[in-house]
Amino acid sequence: MNEFSRPWAGLDPLVHAPARLAILTVLSVVEEADFRYLLHATGLTKGNLSAHVGKLEGAGYLVVEKTFRGKIPLTICRLTPKGRDALEQYRQTMRRLLNVEDERGSNEGSRAVSGVVGAL
Amino acid sequence: MRTKTEQEIEHRIWRSWVEDGLPELVTGLGFFALAMVLWERGHAVGVWALALQYLQVGVILVLAFGARRLVQAAKWRVTYPRTGYVAYGRGGWRKREVWVAVAVGLVTVAGFAFVMAAESLSASASLMGLSAAMAAAFLYWAGRRGWERGFLYAVTAALAGPLAVMLSAGSVTARTFALQGGVHFVLIGVAQMAGGAWALFSYLRKYPLPLTPRRKSHE
Protein backbone atom coordinates (compact mmCIF):
# COMPACT_ATOMS: atom_id res chain seq x y z
CA MET A 1 0.00 0.00 0.00
CA ASN A 2 1.30 3.43 -0.86
CA GLU A 3 0.31 7.00 -0.18
CA PHE A 4 -2.09 7.02 -3.13
CA SER A 5 -4.02 3.96 -2.06
CA ARG A 6 -4.57 5.17 1.53
CA PRO A 7 -3.76 8.85 1.54
CA TRP A 8 -5.61 9.49 4.80
CA ALA A 9 -3.44 6.99 6.68
CA GLY A 10 -1.14 9.82 7.72
CA LEU A 11 -3.91 11.74 9.51
CA ASP A 12 -3.45 11.82 13.26
CA PRO A 13 -6.74 10.54 14.74
CA LEU A 14 -6.10 12.56 17.90
CA VAL A 15 -6.12 15.79 15.89
CA HIS A 16 -8.73 14.74 13.34
CA ALA A 17 -11.75 14.80 15.72
CA PRO A 18 -13.59 18.13 15.14
CA ALA A 19 -13.73 19.05 18.84
CA ARG A 20 -10.02 18.40 19.40
CA LEU A 21 -9.10 20.15 16.16
CA ALA A 22 -11.10 23.20 17.33
CA ILE A 23 -9.27 23.21 20.68
CA LEU A 24 -5.86 22.88 19.02
CA THR A 25 -6.63 25.56 16.43
CA VAL A 26 -7.76 28.06 19.07
CA LEU A 27 -4.69 27.37 21.21
CA SER A 28 -2.37 27.60 18.21
CA VAL A 29 -3.10 31.32 17.78
CA VAL A 30 -2.97 32.32 21.44
CA GLU A 31 -0.28 32.13 24.05
CA GLU A 32 -2.60 30.49 26.59
CA ALA A 33 -6.29 30.32 27.41
CA ASP A 34 -8.31 29.12 30.36
CA PHE A 35 -11.03 26.47 30.41
CA ARG A 36 -13.86 29.01 30.41
CA TYR A 37 -12.49 30.78 27.33
CA LEU A 38 -12.20 27.47 25.48
CA LEU A 39 -15.83 26.72 26.40
CA HIS A 40 -16.92 29.99 24.76
CA ALA A 41 -14.58 29.67 21.77
CA THR A 42 -15.36 26.06 20.85
CA GLY A 43 -19.01 25.87 21.92
CA LEU A 44 -18.42 22.50 23.58
CA THR A 45 -20.04 21.43 26.84
CA LYS A 46 -17.96 21.31 30.03
CA GLY A 47 -17.82 17.51 30.14
CA ASN A 48 -17.00 17.22 26.45
CA LEU A 49 -14.27 19.85 26.62
CA SER A 50 -12.80 18.31 29.75
CA ALA A 51 -12.64 14.87 28.12
CA HIS A 52 -10.99 16.17 24.93
CA VAL A 53 -8.52 18.34 26.84
CA GLY A 54 -7.63 15.30 28.93
CA LYS A 55 -6.94 13.24 25.79
CA LEU A 56 -4.79 15.97 24.25
CA GLU A 57 -2.93 16.43 27.52
CA GLY A 58 -2.36 12.68 27.73
CA ALA A 59 -0.82 12.73 24.25
CA GLY A 60 1.49 15.57 25.28
CA TYR A 61 -0.14 18.05 22.89
CA LEU A 62 -1.31 20.35 25.68
CA VAL A 63 -0.07 21.47 29.05
CA VAL A 64 -2.82 22.00 31.61
CA GLU A 65 -1.95 24.15 34.60
CA LYS A 66 -4.38 24.23 37.51
CA THR A 67 -3.95 27.29 39.65
CA PHE A 68 -5.91 29.86 41.65
CA ARG A 69 -6.51 33.54 41.02
CA GLY A 70 -7.47 34.71 44.49
CA LYS A 71 -10.08 32.15 45.54
CA ILE A 72 -11.16 31.35 42.00
CA PRO A 73 -9.78 28.16 40.44
CA LEU A 74 -8.14 28.70 37.07
CA THR A 75 -7.34 25.98 34.54
CA ILE A 76 -4.92 27.31 31.94
CA CYS A 77 -4.24 25.36 28.74
CA ARG A 78 -1.21 25.87 26.55
CA LEU A 79 -0.14 24.16 23.33
CA THR A 80 3.18 22.27 23.55
CA PRO A 81 5.74 22.22 20.69
CA LYS A 82 4.68 18.60 20.11
CA GLY A 83 1.05 19.70 19.78
CA ARG A 84 2.01 22.50 17.41
CA ASP A 85 3.98 20.04 15.28
CA ALA A 86 1.07 17.59 15.26
CA LEU A 87 -1.31 20.32 14.09
CA GLU A 88 1.10 21.47 11.40
CA GLN A 89 1.62 17.86 10.27
CA TYR A 90 -2.15 17.39 10.14
CA ARG A 91 -2.56 20.51 8.00
CA GLN A 92 0.11 19.37 5.58
CA THR A 93 -1.35 15.87 5.33
CA MET A 94 -4.82 17.28 4.75
CA ARG A 95 -3.55 19.66 2.07
CA ARG A 96 -1.70 16.82 0.33
CA LEU A 97 -4.71 14.57 0.64
CA LEU A 98 -6.97 17.17 -0.98
CA ASN A 99 -4.48 17.67 -3.82
CA VAL A 100 -4.25 13.93 -4.43
CA GLU A 101 -8.03 13.69 -4.58
CA ASP A 102 -8.16 16.62 -7.03
CA GLU A 103 -5.56 15.03 -9.29
CA ARG A 104 -7.51 11.80 -9.37
CA GLY A 105 -10.61 13.72 -10.38
CA SER A 106 -12.52 11.93 -7.72
CA ASN A 107 -15.18 14.50 -6.99
CA GLU A 108 -16.89 12.31 -4.47
CA GLY A 109 -13.75 11.85 -2.42
CA SER A 110 -12.93 15.54 -2.53
CA ARG A 111 -16.42 16.44 -1.48
CA ALA A 112 -16.23 14.07 1.48
CA VAL A 113 -12.90 15.45 2.65
CA SER A 114 -13.97 19.06 2.03
CA GLY A 115 -17.06 18.31 4.09
CA VAL A 116 -14.87 17.27 7.02
CA VAL A 117 -12.75 20.41 6.70
CA GLY A 118 -15.83 22.60 6.29
CA ALA A 119 -17.36 21.12 9.43
CA LEU A 120 -14.32 22.30 11.38
CA MET B 1 0.97 31.03 6.38
CA ARG B 2 -2.26 31.48 8.33
CA THR B 3 -5.47 29.74 7.36
CA LYS B 4 -8.79 31.57 7.17
CA THR B 5 -9.94 29.76 10.31
CA GLU B 6 -6.90 30.97 12.23
CA GLN B 7 -7.43 34.52 10.97
CA GLU B 8 -11.07 34.34 12.05
CA ILE B 9 -9.98 33.13 15.51
CA GLU B 10 -7.52 36.04 15.71
CA HIS B 11 -10.33 38.46 14.85
CA ARG B 12 -12.53 36.84 17.49
CA ILE B 13 -9.79 37.15 20.11
CA TRP B 14 -9.35 40.82 19.27
CA ARG B 15 -13.10 41.37 19.45
CA SER B 16 -13.21 39.60 22.83
CA TRP B 17 -10.52 42.05 24.01
CA VAL B 18 -12.72 45.09 23.20
CA GLU B 19 -16.11 43.45 23.82
CA ASP B 20 -16.31 44.51 27.48
CA GLY B 21 -15.52 48.17 26.73
CA LEU B 22 -12.75 48.34 29.35
CA PRO B 23 -9.97 49.29 26.86
CA GLU B 24 -12.07 52.21 25.62
CA LEU B 25 -12.82 53.36 29.16
CA VAL B 26 -9.08 53.47 29.89
CA THR B 27 -8.05 55.15 26.62
CA GLY B 28 -11.01 57.54 26.92
CA LEU B 29 -9.77 58.51 30.37
CA GLY B 30 -6.29 58.95 28.88
CA PHE B 31 -7.57 61.29 26.16
CA PHE B 32 -9.55 63.20 28.76
CA ALA B 33 -6.43 63.61 30.92
CA LEU B 34 -4.46 64.73 27.86
CA ALA B 35 -7.15 67.29 27.10
CA MET B 36 -6.90 68.63 30.65
CA VAL B 37 -3.11 68.95 30.28
CA LEU B 38 -3.53 70.81 26.99
CA TRP B 39 -6.16 73.04 28.48
CA GLU B 40 -3.80 73.89 31.34
CA ARG B 41 -1.01 74.54 28.86
CA GLY B 42 -3.25 76.93 26.99
CA HIS B 43 -3.57 79.01 30.12
CA ALA B 44 -0.12 78.58 31.72
CA VAL B 45 2.97 80.62 30.80
CA GLY B 46 6.77 80.44 31.28
CA VAL B 47 8.38 77.49 33.08
CA TRP B 48 5.03 75.89 33.79
CA ALA B 49 4.23 75.79 30.11
CA LEU B 50 7.45 73.86 29.40
CA ALA B 51 6.90 71.48 32.34
CA LEU B 52 3.36 70.80 31.20
CA GLN B 53 4.59 70.16 27.69
CA TYR B 54 6.82 67.36 29.02
CA LEU B 55 3.94 66.07 31.12
CA GLN B 56 1.84 65.97 28.00
CA VAL B 57 4.39 63.74 26.24
CA GLY B 58 4.48 61.59 29.39
CA VAL B 59 0.70 61.17 29.32
CA ILE B 60 0.87 60.07 25.68
CA LEU B 61 3.61 57.53 26.48
CA VAL B 62 1.72 56.16 29.50
CA LEU B 63 -1.34 55.91 27.29
CA ALA B 64 0.65 54.02 24.64
CA PHE B 65 2.56 51.62 26.90
CA GLY B 66 0.83 51.46 30.30
CA ALA B 67 -2.82 51.24 29.33
CA ARG B 68 -2.59 47.52 28.60
CA ARG B 69 -1.56 46.67 32.17
CA LEU B 70 -4.36 48.75 33.58
CA VAL B 71 -6.89 47.11 31.28
CA GLN B 72 -5.53 43.64 32.08
CA ALA B 73 -5.91 44.26 35.84
CA ALA B 74 -9.53 45.36 35.31
CA LYS B 75 -10.20 42.35 33.09
CA TRP B 76 -9.05 39.94 35.82
CA ARG B 77 -11.79 41.31 38.06
CA VAL B 78 -14.60 41.82 35.54
CA THR B 79 -14.15 39.88 32.30
CA TYR B 80 -12.17 36.69 32.85
CA PRO B 81 -14.50 35.26 35.53
CA ARG B 82 -17.32 35.63 32.99
CA THR B 83 -16.01 34.73 29.54
CA GLY B 84 -12.59 33.31 30.36
CA TYR B 85 -8.98 34.33 30.21
CA VAL B 86 -6.98 34.39 27.00
CA ALA B 87 -3.49 35.74 26.34
CA TYR B 88 -2.50 36.87 22.88
CA GLY B 89 -0.02 34.81 20.92
CA ARG B 90 3.58 35.88 20.64
CA GLY B 91 3.45 35.30 16.92
CA GLY B 92 4.29 37.76 14.16
CA TRP B 93 0.77 39.12 13.66
CA ARG B 94 0.67 40.73 17.08
CA LYS B 95 4.25 41.94 16.96
CA ARG B 96 3.61 43.56 13.56
CA GLU B 97 0.50 45.37 14.76
CA VAL B 98 2.24 46.56 17.92
CA TRP B 99 5.10 47.97 15.85
CA VAL B 100 2.67 49.72 13.50
CA ALA B 101 0.84 51.21 16.51
CA VAL B 102 4.12 52.35 18.11
CA ALA B 103 5.30 53.89 14.81
CA VAL B 104 2.00 55.74 14.33
CA GLY B 105 2.15 56.93 17.96
CA LEU B 106 5.71 58.21 17.60
CA VAL B 107 4.90 60.03 14.35
CA THR B 108 1.88 61.63 16.03
CA VAL B 109 3.94 62.71 19.06
CA ALA B 110 6.70 64.08 16.80
CA GLY B 111 4.17 65.98 14.70
CA PHE B 112 2.52 67.33 17.80
CA ALA B 113 5.85 68.49 19.29
CA PHE B 114 6.78 70.10 15.95
CA VAL B 115 3.55 72.07 15.87
CA MET B 116 4.09 73.15 19.48
CA ALA B 117 7.59 74.39 18.62
CA ALA B 118 6.73 76.17 15.36
CA GLU B 119 4.16 78.80 16.08
CA SER B 120 4.19 80.01 12.51
CA LEU B 121 2.33 76.88 11.45
CA SER B 122 -1.38 77.25 11.17
CA ALA B 123 -2.81 75.76 14.34
CA SER B 124 -6.11 75.09 12.65
CA ALA B 125 -4.59 73.20 9.73
CA SER B 126 -2.47 71.09 12.08
CA LEU B 127 -5.45 70.20 14.23
CA MET B 128 -7.48 69.28 11.17
CA GLY B 129 -4.61 67.01 10.11
CA LEU B 130 -4.48 65.35 13.54
CA SER B 131 -8.23 64.95 13.48
CA ALA B 132 -8.11 63.30 10.04
CA ALA B 133 -5.22 61.01 11.09
CA MET B 134 -7.10 59.84 14.20
CA ALA B 135 -10.29 59.29 12.20
CA ALA B 136 -8.31 57.23 9.67
CA ALA B 137 -6.72 55.16 12.46
CA PHE B 138 -10.13 54.41 14.03
CA LEU B 139 -11.56 53.58 10.60
CA TYR B 140 -8.66 51.20 9.92
CA TRP B 141 -9.22 49.27 13.16
CA ALA B 142 -12.98 49.31 12.75
CA GLY B 143 -12.79 47.95 9.21
CA ARG B 144 -9.98 45.48 9.82
CA ARG B 145 -11.43 43.92 12.97
CA GLY B 146 -15.18 44.42 12.49
CA TRP B 147 -15.27 46.77 15.49
CA GLU B 148 -18.55 48.68 15.13
CA ARG B 149 -17.85 51.26 17.84
CA GLY B 150 -14.65 52.17 15.98
CA PHE B 151 -16.82 53.82 13.30
CA LEU B 152 -18.46 56.00 15.97
CA TYR B 153 -15.03 57.08 17.22
CA ALA B 154 -13.87 57.73 13.66
CA VAL B 155 -16.84 60.03 13.07
CA THR B 156 -16.24 61.75 16.43
CA ALA B 157 -12.55 62.27 15.62
CA ALA B 158 -13.40 63.58 12.15
CA LEU B 159 -15.89 66.10 13.58
CA ALA B 160 -13.87 67.04 16.69
CA GLY B 161 -11.14 68.81 14.70
CA PRO B 162 -13.38 71.19 12.69
CA LEU B 163 -15.52 71.81 15.79
CA ALA B 164 -12.49 72.75 17.91
CA VAL B 165 -11.16 75.01 15.13
CA MET B 166 -14.53 76.76 14.84
CA LEU B 167 -14.18 77.86 18.47
CA SER B 168 -11.23 80.16 17.68
CA ALA B 169 -10.81 80.40 13.93
CA GLY B 170 -7.97 82.48 12.45
CA SER B 171 -5.55 82.16 15.37
CA VAL B 172 -2.04 80.81 14.68
CA THR B 173 -0.46 80.64 18.14
CA ALA B 174 0.64 77.44 19.87
CA ARG B 175 -1.46 78.51 22.85
CA THR B 176 -4.57 78.50 20.73
CA PHE B 177 -3.57 75.15 19.30
CA ALA B 178 -3.29 73.77 22.85
CA LEU B 179 -6.77 75.02 23.71
CA GLN B 180 -8.23 73.70 20.48
CA GLY B 181 -6.39 70.41 21.04
CA GLY B 182 -7.94 70.25 24.49
CA VAL B 183 -11.44 70.57 23.02
CA HIS B 184 -10.57 68.00 20.35
CA PHE B 185 -9.33 65.38 22.83
CA VAL B 186 -12.15 66.04 25.30
CA LEU B 187 -14.67 65.16 22.59
CA ILE B 188 -12.84 61.96 21.63
CA GLY B 189 -12.25 61.01 25.28
CA VAL B 190 -15.89 61.52 26.22
CA ALA B 191 -17.06 59.55 23.15
CA GLN B 192 -14.74 56.66 24.07
CA MET B 193 -15.76 56.67 27.72
CA ALA B 194 -19.44 56.74 26.75
CA GLY B 195 -18.93 53.92 24.20
CA GLY B 196 -16.89 51.91 26.69
CA ALA B 197 -19.43 52.36 29.48
CA TRP B 198 -22.27 51.31 27.18
CA ALA B 199 -20.28 48.26 26.01
CA LEU B 200 -19.43 47.30 29.61
CA PHE B 201 -23.08 47.61 30.64
CA SER B 202 -24.18 45.41 27.70
CA TYR B 203 -21.42 42.91 28.41
CA LEU B 204 -22.34 42.59 32.11
CA ARG B 205 -25.96 42.03 31.18
CA LYS B 206 -25.10 39.47 28.51
CA TYR B 207 -22.66 37.49 30.65
CA PRO B 208 -23.72 37.31 34.30
CA LEU B 209 -21.17 35.98 36.76
CA PRO B 210 -21.35 32.16 36.73
CA LEU B 211 -22.42 30.45 39.93
CA THR B 212 -19.54 29.13 42.01
CA PRO B 213 -19.91 25.60 43.54
CA ARG B 214 -20.41 27.13 47.00
CA ARG B 215 -23.23 29.40 45.80
CA LYS B 216 -24.79 26.49 43.94
CA SER B 217 -24.82 24.28 47.05
CA HIS B 218 -26.98 26.80 48.91
CA GLU B 219 -29.76 26.60 46.32
pLDDT tens, B120-149? 456 677 778 888 888 888 888 888 878 889
CB contact under 8 A, A69 and B87: no
Amino acid at B217: S
Query: Which of B7, B85, B90 is most worth mutating to test chain A (most A CB atoms within 10 A of its CB)?
Result: B85
Confidence of residue B189 (pLDDT cuts 50, 70, 90): very high
Q: C-alpha A17: how far from its chain's center?
A: 7
- Calpha distance A19→B86 (Å, rounded): 19
Q: What is the pLDDT of residue B11?
A: 77
Nearest to A30 among B3, B13, B80 (CB): B13
Q: What is the pLDDT of residue A118?
A: 46
Instruction: Kindly report the average pLDDT of chain B as a whole number.
Output: 77
How far B70 CA lies from chain A's nearest CA (Å)? 17
CB contact under 8 A, A34 and B86: yes
Chain A residues touching residue B13 (CB < 8 angstroms): 29-30
Residue pair B45/B51 in contact (Cβ under 8 Å)? The answer is: no
ipTM value greater than 0.85: no
Q: What is the pLDDT of residue A78?
A: 93
CB contact under 8 A, B84 and A33: yes
Interface check A82 vs B, CB under 8 A: no
- Calpha distance B182→B36 (Å, rounded): 6
Minimum mean pLDDT among B31-40, B145-154, B173-182: which range? B173-182
Nearest to A30 among B80, B82, B86 (CB): B86
Rg for chain B (alpha carbons), in Å? 20
Interface check B122 vs A, CB under 8 A: no
Residue pair B154/B138 in contact (Cβ under 8 Å)? The answer is: yes
Beta-carbon neighbour count of residue A62 at 10 Å? 22
pLDDT tens, B89-98? 655 455 666 6
Nearest to B89 among A31, A72, A76 (CB): A31
Q: Kindly report the three-state secondary structure assignment for every residue of B152-198.
A: HHHHHHHHHHHHHHHHCCCCCCHHHHHHHHHHHHHHHHHHHHHHHHH
- Calpha distance B191→B196 (Å, rounded): 8
Interface check A9 vs B, CB under 8 A: no
Tell whether domain A7-119 is in CATH 1.10.10.10. Answer: yes
Q: Kindly report the three-state secondary structure assignment for every residue of B75-125.
A: HHHHCHHHHCCEEECCCHHHHHHHHHHHHHHHHHHHHHHHHHHCCCCCHHH
- Total-model pTM: 0.71
pLDDT < 50: residue spans in chain A: 1, 112-120
